[in-house]
Structure 1
Amino acid sequence: MSKEILQRLDQLSQAALASGDLLPVQAQEERLQDQGLSFFVRWVSTLAAKDAASVSIPGGPRDPNFNPFLPPAPALTVDDASATHNIVLNKFAVCDLHLVLADKVFSEQLHPLRDIDFRILADFLAAQGGLGFYNGGGPAGASQRHKHTQWIPQAADNGSLALYQDQLPAQAQAGSVHRHPVLDFEHCFVRLLDTQEPAALSESLLNAYRLACKELSLVPGQDTLLPPHNMLVGQGWMLVVPRSVELVEGISVNALSYAGCMYVRTPEQIERVRQIGPLAVLAQAAYASSHKQ
């Protein structure tokens, strides 16, 4: 990903904030500890705006006939940045420079991720680090059917797989599969190739995803759709979590929840997460582990 595109993204963000096309991020948050892991639990103003917008949009954001990515909003889109994807500032961002990487042609969000999906993610990860993620289907937190991944930059208070690094093997070989001893639900981590070369990283991402899907028995059915799942990538690891439901007592769980940032719809839900416990929320949204820790 060229410095020119990154500069254009920053300029686009400033212009969209000034015009009102991009909403500023305001948050109320609390930090919770659970079995040695640290979670941010946040109520974010943009999510309240997203819920309000879904009422005014015909059919709502999950209506199959509603698609914000065909075409994406011009004020939020970097022109001609990729032959295969539109690079779009997320109008309902959870942090600065929260990007949506959407296919230029329609394909289903639950179709297996392909090499082109990982190529666009690898461009950002190789150049800037940060976290790439994918909400595979409604039960995994996806609000749109149109295939897209997302990316957020690296920052102290952004979601990150660094949350888990202390209890993952530092010298793990690329392509090796691991489970975290604290996560009592179905998941797997796959070690990535240590490289900042986009093509090599993209290949490592695709191989890791296919390996994780095999390890977790995530296979396409007759309609070619995979079971719902989240995929996260950053800090040299890929994490894949099969998903059973989106909501746990009204709390929406998506990929970023598994990166240590739980975004709630109301400030009152922060206290509910405290009562249940962050790890219990994540477990209830996933499947019980079939592996002994």
Structure 2
Amino acid sequence: MNASWIEAIDDRSTAALASGALVPVQAEQVEMEDAGMRFIVRWVSSLAAKDASKAAAAAKAEGAKDDKAVAIPGGPRDPSFNPFLNPDPELTVGPVGGHHVAILNKFPLCARHLVLARREFAEQLSPLALCDFAALAELMAAAGGIGLYNGGAAAGASQRHKHVQWMPEAAGNASLRLFVPGLPAALAEQGVATHPALPMRHCFVRVRCGRGEAVAVSADSLLAGFERACAELGLRPGEDGLLPPFNLLVGDGWLLAIPRSREHFEGISMSAVCFGGTLYTRHREQIEAIRAVGPLRALAAVGY
């Protein structure tokens, strides 16, 4: 992954916006301070558009069942449709490593918001593998930013097909940097820590990741950090081979894992990105629900 790849992301974004394949980002935001940390709460209209698209698809599919008819070409997709198995060419940026493909998030939370999806189907709640971290490491080595993972529907995942997400470093985007002052600066690689201001079960692990890191070294460090966090939090696969719901964030030399108890706080879907200091709502009035309790209590409500 190099500068030419970043150019490819921008070129694909421009074309996809022009064709209507990519829903443009439209957001309003407010800032809130909690425990001495600055949080951003954004109302993103494209999330409501995403919900409307799903509802239309579900209604169309239900109507097709009632009529014993097949889906109409060009109509809303079946809600069981997997957008990552054969991704839309208009949103596809290109391969990342040997196992993933980079796809523009159709309903982005920011510019250059990417999904790095496995080429072959794997369950989202199956444990992350070295290849998943290698795909993230390749992108982060070239462009920095933050890696995100929603482990299961209760953690905000909208698809079962295994995928990680990436967002660039930019003002207002999610980042683990807001937590760094509360973490031990001299912690060795693979050392673990908790943050005194986070009122939910979580685990930080010191890892090697970010701009300029060797991809193989970073991928190994991230996998080891993930396994260490799972051990610390008791996140173990069940008889079906799947993990309990959790979120994962990686960036700025840290990996953060949070077990999840449920998806929503006051009707607001909370995904990994929210634990990076930027919370997203589908409706403007939901901002007040977060303001009423504060960002940290809202996040704690969906954890343990």
Q: Tell me if structure 2 keeps the 8 A contact 1:231–1:238.
A: yes
- Residue 80 of structure 2 aligns to a residue in which SS? coil
> Unpaired segments of 5 or more residues in structure 1?
288-293
2:192 counterpart residue number: 177
- Residue 301 of structure 2 aligns to a residue in which SS? helix
Q: 1:116: how far off?
A: 0.5
Give the distance between the partners of 1:249 and 1:8, measured in 2 at CA.
39
- Residue 6 of structure 2 aligns to a residue in which SS? helix
Give the distance between the partners of 2:94 and 2:250, measured in 1 at CA.
26
Q: 1:81: how far off?
A: 4.5
Residue 299 of structure 2, aligned match among 257, 272, 282: 282
- Residue 285 of structure 1 aligns to a residue in which SS? coil
1:271 counterpart residue number: 288
Are residue 259 (structure 1) and residue 259 (structure 2) matched?
Answer: no
- Residue 41 of structure 2 aligns to a residue in which SS? strand
Residue 104 of structure 2, aligned match among 77, 89, 95: 89
Give the distance between the partners of 1:80 and 1:89, measured in 2 at CA.
12
- Residue 74 of structure 1 aligns to a residue in which SS? coil
Distance 1:106 1:64, change over 3 A: farther
* Matched AA of 1:7: E
Q: Tell me if structure 1 keeps the 8 A contact 2:45–2:283.
A: no
Give the distance between the partners of 1:259 and 1:97, measured in 2 at CA.
17
- Residue 204 of structure 2 aligns to a residue in which SS? strand
1:167-206 mapped onto 2 (5 Å cutoff): 167-193=182-208, 196-206=213-223
1:106-125 mapped onto 2 (5 Å cutoff): 106-125=121-140
Are residue 136 (structure 1) and residue 157 (structure 2) matched?
Answer: no
Q: 1:208: how far off?
A: 0.1
Q: Tell me if structure 2 keeps the 8 A contact 1:5–1:81.
A: no
Give the distance between the partners of 2:172 and 2:287, measured in 1 at CA.
17
Q: 1:218: how far off?
A: 0.1
Q: 1:10: how far off?
A: 1.1
Give the distance between the partners of 2:202 and 2:95, measured in 1 at CA.
36
* Matched AA of 2:153: G
1:291 counterpart residue number: none
2:256 counterpart residue number: 239
Please give the TM-score of this superposition, normalised by the length of structure 1.
0.94
- Residue 90 of structure 2 aligns to a residue in which SS? helix
> Unpaired segments of 5 or more residues in structure 2?
63-75
Q: 1:64: how far off?
A: 7.5
Distance 1:217 1:80, change over 3 A: closer
1:44 counterpart residue number: 44
The size of the alignment, in residue pairs, is: 287
- Residue 249 of structure 2 aligns to a residue in which SS? strand
Give the distance between the partners of 1:228 and 1:47, measured in 2 at CA.
22
Q: Tell me if structure 2 keeps the 8 A contact 1:35–1:182.
A: yes
Q: Tell me if structure 1 keeps the 8 A contact 2:54–2:79.
A: no
RMSD: 1.7
- Larger Rg, first or second structure (1 or 2): 2
Give the distance between the partners of 1:283 and 1:171, measured in 2 at CA.
27
Give the distance between the partners of 2:152 and 2:189, measured in 1 at CA.
28
- Residue 125 of structure 2 aligns to a residue in which SS? coil
Q: 1:4: how far off?
A: 2.4
Distance 1:188 1:80, change over 3 A: closer
Q: 1:44: how far off?
A: 0.4
2:228 counterpart residue number: 211
Give the distance between the partners of 2:56 and 2:198, measured in 1 at CA.
39
1:29 counterpart residue number: 29
Deviations 1:156-206 (A, max 9, x none): 110000010111112211000000000111001000136611110000000
Q: Tell me if structure 1 keeps the 8 A contact 2:97–2:134.
A: no
